Chains A and B, each alone.
Chain A
Amino acid sequence: DAGITQSPRHKVTETGTPVTLRCHQTENHRYMYWYRQDPGHGLRLIHYSYGVKDTDKGEVSDGYSVSRSKTEDFLLTLESATSSQTSVYFCAISVTTTTGELFFGEGSRLTVL
Chain B
Amino acid sequence: DAKTTQPPSMDCAEGRAANLPCNHSTISGNEYVYWYRQIHSQGPQYIIHGLKNNETNEMASLIITEDRKSSTLILPHATLRDTAVYYCIVRITGGTSYGKLTFGQGTILTVHP
Contacts and interface: CB of A to CB of B under 8 A. Distances in A.
Interface of A: 31, 33, 35, 42-45, 48, 50, 56, 58-59, 90, 92, 94, 98-107
B49 A101 contact: yes
Interface of B: 32, 34, 36, 41-46, 49, 87, 89, 91, 93-94, 96, 98-106
Given A100-B99, A101-B46, A102-B44, 9 more contacts: A33-B99, A35-B103, A43-B44, A45-B100, A48-B99, A56-B96, A102-B36, A103-B46, A106-B42
Given A99-B49, A101-B46, A31 B99 contact: yes
A55 B20 CA distance: 35
A103 to B, nearest CB: 7
A100 B43 contact: no
A92 B100 CA distance: 10
Contacts of B44: 43, 90, 92, 102, 104
A102 B99 contact: yes
Nearest to A44: B103
- Give the interface centre of A31, A98, A100, A102 by most chain B CB atoms within 10 Å: A100
Contacts of A45: 100-102
At the interface, is chain A mostly helix, strand, loop or mixed? strand
A92 B103 CA distance: 13
28 contacts: A31-B99, A35-B103, A42-B103, A42-B106, A43-B101, A45-B100, A45-B101, A48-B99, A58-B100, A90-B43, A90-B44, A92-B44, A92-B99, A94-B99, A98-B94, A100-B34, A100-B93, A100-B98, A100-B99, A101-B34, A101-B46, A102-B46, A102-B99, A105-B43, A106-B42, A106-B43, A107-B42, A107-B43
A92 B38 CA distance: 14
